[in-house]
Amino acid sequence: MTDLERRDLLRGVAGAATAPFFVDSVAGQAAPDPGPVGVHAAYGRDPASTLRVGWSGAPAVDARVEIGRPDEPPTTVDAEANPVPGREAVAYAATVTGLAPDTAYEYEAVLDDRRAGPFSIETAPDATDGFTVTAVGDHGVADPENPFQRPDDDVPNRVMDVAADLDPDLQILVGDISYANGKPSTWELYFETFESFYAETPFMTAAGNHEAEPGTGLTQYDRRLNDLMPIHDPPGPDDFQHGRRWYHFDYDNTRFISLTTTADGCGDVSRGEEFVPIYDPRCEFGGVTYGDVQERYLRRVLEEALEDDDVRWKVVYFHGPFWTDSPDHAPRDLLRDRWGTILDEYGVDLVLSGDNHVWERTKPIAAKPDRDDYAPADAWDWESDVGTTYVTNGTGGVSHYGFGNRTPSEYFARRTNSYFVTTDREGGDPVVRDSFEIRKAEEHTDHGARRPTQIDLYDGPVDDDLVVQGSREDDGRVFTGGQTDRIRLTYDANRAVRIRDRIPSDWEVTGGDATRTDDGAPGDTKWVYFDSDAAESGSVTYFVEVPEGPTRTGRYALGPVQATTDDRAEWVAVPGTTSEETVVGAGTGT
């Protein structure tokens, strides 16, 4: 959560394993709500005069927004309609311009004779004494109808409740938004669930890897969210290869810039959408890659901000982090080399990312002079008092990731995997788990930008996290139906922990150290529990029988193992404890 003020001060506070993809048959989808449903709003390039409104529903002859000041006749604005994957599903988007600054409006979304609202929303003021932004990544929604849905509880709802309690001027979500993973109805559920917040709080986004869905790519994200973002630059030759998913806007004295670390499918499509690197030479068009185009854009809008006396702060956000201790998604060192140096040259104050389900805040980080390659961490200086602050905040509610090292990397001022933003409450109030300020130093970059400096306001340790490492050993990788697999799990933690494993629901536990199973795991899986005292290290062995029959032939994911302590309710994924097994369903006797 971040407050941005007109003075030389930026204040931030914070509180407290990749799912398998699948392509869901459209024929199996229920018809969408006729709508309008899932109303959400975003700012245009000028938040003081422009709003964009989106929603979904069935096809309609007349789609519009009716908006006006309270007790005044509304103005009607037509909405554009674009089909999205799903049965007769349509995403609608309307752009409302010519609004007055710092003004409250009421609006309704209309499809033929059906209405949603009224909702209340305010335009940005021309100038303020400070404003509030809430930001998080890796959110999701509990969807019992989605077998590969990540959240299976109300944590994503509690995260948004905390954000709503702060009454922000805008909400940023840095990717991995609904976790639909190919099931269109999960997108519908996501926006229905959070409509009361998103319809009245402008909602700005960046695409994450889970927005690149199997079979349909980024279509759902593009139609439901990217079409609402303030992308005003006319398409050029570079856009034939990739959709444009980067933009910027100015709120008061702050320039916000959104980039994307997720690319359209290109090159070797067998790698899967989310693994396509944005600088892949096989994805060039006209001699430039998706990363090259954004690099040029980033430099241009930062140069414009430097020349604009009204812009004091610069905040950049995208999904994949440059600096992280979580091994689930490695630091984007190529982007650190290509984009990080630009952020440093123009004195960017704060960079927000997600992807890893942890909270991490760096010390101020600046590029060391005269290096040929800025991908390695040692090409950067975190011992001085000036530089950009990088925050990884993937604590939106999906899960917690483990850290790969017991001791935090030297460049971190704070890290934790123990909380979902500020949802850890004592006496009903959010508990602050990190706090810091960013001020402007007197030092300037070579481009003339004032460098930022950071003041650490958190009086606790750098980390209070649970760090667990582990391993998994199986009898093999290919099994015939009915065979037994012996599974051995090891773990090593910085505290005494208990562990549980995750296996496919139709695999039967037949013996060993396992004492019970629980079908409450996400998707078509179940938990395996072990009757052992909490310990800092140890191992367990148990046996499972793989399913039999021709319909059971396929590839199955096991793990990751999760760990918890006796004094915490949340479980943490243990790195190094996943595997994939192939089953030939025909029995051993056939």
Q: What are phi and psi of 522, to 5 degrees?
A: -65, 150
Quick one: pLDDT at residue 234? 55
Give the residue, 317 or 12, on which the prediction is more confident: 317
What beta strand segments (E) does 282-418 contain?
313-317, 350-353, 359-362, 366-367, 380-381, 389-393, 412-416
Residue 590 banded pLDDT, cuts 50, 70, 90: very low
Buried (b) or exposed (e) across 391-407, using 16+ Cβ within 10 A? bbbbbbbbbbbbbbeee
Buried b (16+ CB within 10 A) or exposed e, 223-247: bbbbbbbbbeeeeeebeebbbbbbb
pLDDT tens sequence across 269-278:
444 434 457 8
Q: Note the pLDDT of residue 305.
A: 96
- 178: alpha, beta or left? (left if phi > 0; alpha if psi -120 to 50): alpha
User: Mean pLDDT throughout 408-423?
Assistant: 78
| Residue 80 pLDDT greater than 80, yes or no | yes
- What is the average pLDDT across 336-341? 94
**Which of the two residues, 528 and 26, has the higher pLDDT score?**
528
Residue 113 pLDDT greater than 80, yes or no: yes
Asked if the model's pLDDT at residue 425 lies above 50, the reply is no
Lowest mean pLDDT among 191-195, 239-243, 298-302: 239-243
Burial of 572 (0-12, 13-18, 19+ CB in 10 A): buried
268-325 per-position pLDDT tens digit:
444 443 445 788 777 776 778 888 889 999 999 999 999 999 999 999 999 999 999 8
CATH number of 468-587: 2.60.40.740
Q: What is the identity of the amino acid at 14?
A: A
Is the Cα torsion angle 546, 547, 551, 557 positive or negative in sign? negative
Question: Which pLDDT does position 548 carry in this prediction?
Answer: 87
Which structure tokens are listed for 116? 């949603």
Instruction: Give the separation between CA 566 and CA 453, rounded to whole angstroms.
Output: 39
Tell me the C-alpha distance between 469 and 494, whole Å.
Answer: 9
Sequence-separated (6 or more) residues with CB below 8 Å from residue 538? 490, 491, 532
* Residue indicated by tokens 């980039």: 259
Q: With 80 as the cut, is the pLDDT of residue 465 above it?
A: no
For residues 93 and 286, the model is more confident at 93
Question: pLDDT at residue 569 above 70?
Answer: no
Residue 185's H or E segment, with its range, is helix 184-193
pLDDT band at 61 (very low <50, low <70, confident <90, very high): very high
Give the residue from 440, 439, 385, 441 showing the smallest Cα distance to 413: 385
Residue 282 contacts residue 266 (beta carbons within 8 Å):
yes
Lowest average pLDDT, out of 225-239, 246-260, 374-388, 471-485, goes to 225-239
pLDDT of residue 128: 83
3-class DSSP state for residue 302?
helix
Quick one: pLDDT band at residue 27, thresholds 50, 70, 90?
very low
Give the single-character DSSP code of 294.
H
Residue 568 bridge partners (DSSP)? none
Output the pLDDT for position 557: 86
Task: Over range 252-275, report the average pLDDT.
Answer: 71
The distance from CA 173 to its chain's CA centroid, rounded to whole angstroms, is 6
Nearest Cα neighbor of 504 from 557, 581, 576 is 557
* pTM of this prediction exceeds 0.85: no
Q: Apex CA 320: angle with CA 403 and CA 271, to 5°?
A: 100
**Domain boundaries 2-20+42-48+124-456, corresponding CATH code:** 3.60.21.10
Nearest to 306 by CA among 339, 342, 352: 342
The pLDDT assigned to 516 comes to 93
523 or 581, which is more confident: 581
pLDDT at site 175: 93
Q: Among 146-150, 326-330, 562-566, whose mean pLDDT is lowest?
A: 146-150
Higher pLDDT, 232 or 13: 232
Among 5-14, 106-115, 165-174, 224-233, where is mean pLDDT lowest?
A: 5-14
Residue 242 clears pLDDT 80, i.e. is over it: no
Q: Please give the pLDDT value at position 17.
A: 24
Other CB atoms within a 10 A radius of the CB of residue 457 amount to: 13
Strand, coil or helix: 487: strand
Domain boundaries, the chain: 2-20+42-48+124-456, 468-587
Confidence label for 412 from pLDDT (cuts 50, 70 and 90): very high
Which secondary structure element, helix H or strand E, spans residue 380, and what is its range? strand 380-381
**For 234-242, what is the mean pLDDT?**
53
Q: Alpha helix locations (H) across 289-369?
A: 290-307, 333-338, 340-345
Highest mean pLDDT range out of 89-98, 145-154, 213-222? 89-98
Higher-confidence residue of 534 and 243: namely 534
For the record, the structure tokens of 345 come out as 């040259």
pLDDT at residue 12 in the model:
57
Task: Average the pLDDT over each of 2-6, 99-103, 467-471 and give the range with the smallest value.
Answer: 2-6
- The CB density around residue 461, as the number of other CB atoms within 10 Å, is 11
Q: Cβ of 476: how many Cβ atoms within 10 Å?
A: 10
Over range 514-539, report the average pLDDT.
88
Is pLDDT of 3 > 70?
Answer: no
371: confidence class by pLDDT, cuts 50, 70, 90: very high
- Mean pLDDT on 251-260: 95
90: pLDDT strictly greater than 90: yes
Residue whose tokens read 């093999």: 476
